[in-house]
Each structure stands twice: as structure tokens, then as C-alpha cells.
């Protein structure tokens, strides 16, 4: 697709059409937040809950499609264009589900400019909701918050005397679509090891300060990662954002330093 469909009225097409996909270069948004060359690893998990095609007998087959794209791909795919593209399979016939996955893999590999994309049809036995440990959830803090414009200077640190690995969660992440300004809600998970420890109060205020910030899901995750990395100079840092679904798709960007995190693509939180 030569033009971003987001924010425009587009007719849905029910026969396969790869030209519906629209790419967004990662480098553009990374440059805006000061990332010239990525120094981290990671991936983006897209769970597509409304995917369907026809089998060789004309019977509709409905699946949950999981797409895993490496963070070093040249592009991301715009989510509305992906929705339109996946909908175009709904009246298209395939003999076997492996044929469907192969077509999607080839199309996305081209648009994202990566050879390492992974695709699965999710099954009920692998689908699991993840419980957030109560002692790691910072949302319960009773704090006064007045800052709703992104402000990294909110973050405050103390010395991590015991050198322990820190894990924190918040369900209060809200960012906004950069085109339509529609809200995007999510859970954020942060793990790090550093000589410094971010205070829970300041971390919560920082996450809330994204409330009027507009950017794509992947860029918001990388902004959190970049701000924390610059502040505490960690030997280990993991940031994972689990956004709620819109248009039948939820997006889950995850970034790691160093690039040694186990690849578990099956985390879900109850709001998703």
C-alpha cells in the first residue's frame, strides 16, 4: 500500500491482496528519541484474534494468528493495514494451513525487510494468562500525580546496595496513536540490574506521564527502554509492553539488553 490507511475510511477486501500492507521504517521514530543505532535485542509479538480463511471444501477456518517480528527488522507494519490484509484471506481458499502461513510469512518478510519472522496458529493449550505478582505491582502506591506529559526527569534513583535484580509491573500505561490520537492501554514490565535502583513512586509517575504521549506501540516501548537505560546504565535491562487489542489485534513489543532474554511468545494479561 502506497499510503498509510490509518485515519482513513477504507473498504474491506475479502480476497487475498498483499498490496494492502503498509510499512513504517523503524529508523524514523528511533531517530526522534535519540536512537541512532539499536544497541538492544528484542521482538514484537502481534496476536491476531480475527483471522479466517476457507479450506479446500469451502468451509471457513478461524484461527488466532501469532506473528513474531525481530526488533532489528527495517520496518514495522502499520496495524490497520495488517488488519485489512488479514481480512483479505476471509474468502480465499487454501488446501492446508501451512500454505496460509507460508504466504503470510513471505509477504511480511518483504514488507518488514527481515528473514527471521515467525508465525504460529495459537492453540488453547498454549494460551495462558500471566499473573502479576502483587509485591512487584507499583500501581497500589498512593501518590499524588500532576504530570501527564512525558517527562523522563521524573525518574529518581537510589543506590542498589545489594546489587539485586529488580522487577516491576504497572497496568497504568496509556499512550496514543500518532495518527488518530486513539488511546492505547497496556501493561508494562520492567526488569533490570544496575548499581542504581529507580524509586517505585518516580517510576509510576513516569509511566503515567505517557498519558498524552503519541507514538506507535513499538516506539513507546523503546522510549521507556532508552530513558531507563540512559539513567541507570544497567548491565541488564528488559522492557515489555503488552497492549490491549484494537481491531482484533494486540501488539506486544519487547526489548532486551543484552540480547539474552528467553523467547516466550505466550504471555497474555487478562485485559488483552
Indicate if 220 belongs to the active site: no
3-state DSSP of the chain: CCCCCCCCCCCCCCCCCHHHCCEEEHHHHHHHCCCCCCCCEEEEEEEEEEEEEECCCCCEEEEEEEEEEECCCCEEECHHHHHHHHHCCCCCECCCHHHHHHHHHHHHHHHHCCCCCEEEEECCCCCEECCCCHHHEHHHCCCCCCCCCCCHHHCCEEECCCCCCEEEEEEEEEEECCCCCCEEEEEEEEEEECCEEECHHHHHHHHHHHHHCECCHHHHHHHHHHHHHHHHCCCEEEEEEEECCECCEEEEEEEEECCCCCCCCCEECCCC
Closest among 230, 165, 159 to 196, alpha carbons compared? 159
Which residue shows C-alpha cell 497496568? Answer: 171
Q: SS3 of 230, please?
A: helix
> Is 184 a residue of the active site?
yes
**Among 44, 184, 227, 250, which one carries the catalytic annotation?**
184
Q: How many CA atoms lie within 13 A of 37 on its CB side?
A: 1
Q: Which residue do the cell numbers 500505561 mark? A: 173
Task: List the catalytic residue out of 177, 220, 221, 241.
Answer: 177
CA pair distance 85, 15, nearest whole angstrom: 9
> Mind telling me the catalytic residues?
177, 184
Amino acid at each position: 500500500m502506497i499510503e498509510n490507511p490509518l485515519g482513513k475510511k477504507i473498504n474491506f477486501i475479502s480476497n487475498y491482496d498483499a498490496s494492502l500492507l503498509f510499512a513504517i521504517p523503524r529508523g524514523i521514530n528511533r531517530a526522534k528519541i535519540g536512537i541512532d543505532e539499536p544497541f538492544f535485542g528484542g521482538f514484537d509479538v502481534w496476536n491476531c484474534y480475527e483471522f479466517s480463511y476457507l479450506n479446500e471444501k469451502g468451509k471457513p477456518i478461524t484461527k488466532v494468528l501469532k506473528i513474531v517480528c525481530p526488533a532489528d527488522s527495517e520496518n514495522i507494519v502499520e496495524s490497520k493495514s495488517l488488519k485489512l490484509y488479514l481480512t483479505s484471506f476471509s474468502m480465499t481458499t487454501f488446501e492446508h494451513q501451512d500454505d496460509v502461513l507460508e504466504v503470510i510469512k513471505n509477504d511480511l518478510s518483504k514488507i518488514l525487510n527481515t528473514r527471521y519472522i515467525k508465525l504460529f496458529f495459537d492453540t488453547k493449550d498454549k494460551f495462558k494468562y500471566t499473573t502479576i505478582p502483587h509485591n512487584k505491582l507499583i500501581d497500589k502506591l498512593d501518590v499524588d500525580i500532576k504530570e501527564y506529559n512525558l517527562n523522563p526527569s521524573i525518574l529518581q534513583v537510589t543506590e542498589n546496595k545489594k546489587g539485586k535484580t529488580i522487577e516491576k509491573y504497572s497496568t497504568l500505561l496509556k499512550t496514543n496513536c500518532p495518527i488518530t490520537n486513539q488511546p492505547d492501554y497496556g501493561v508494562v514490565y520492567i526488569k533490570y540490574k544496575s548499581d542504581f535502583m529507580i524509586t517505585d513512586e518516580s517510576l509510576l509517575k513516569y509511566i503515567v506521564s505517557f498519558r498524552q504521549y503519541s507514538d506507535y506501540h513499538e516506539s513507546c516501548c523503546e522510549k521507556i527502554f532508552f530513558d531507563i537505560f540512559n539513567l541507570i546504565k544497567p548491565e541488564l535491562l528488559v522492557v515489555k509492553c503488552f497492549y490491549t487489542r484494537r481491531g482484533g489485534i494486540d501488539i506486544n513489543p519487547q526489548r532486551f539488553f543484552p540480547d539474552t532474554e528467553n523467547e516466550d511468545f505466550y504471555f497474555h494479561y487478562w485485559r488483552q
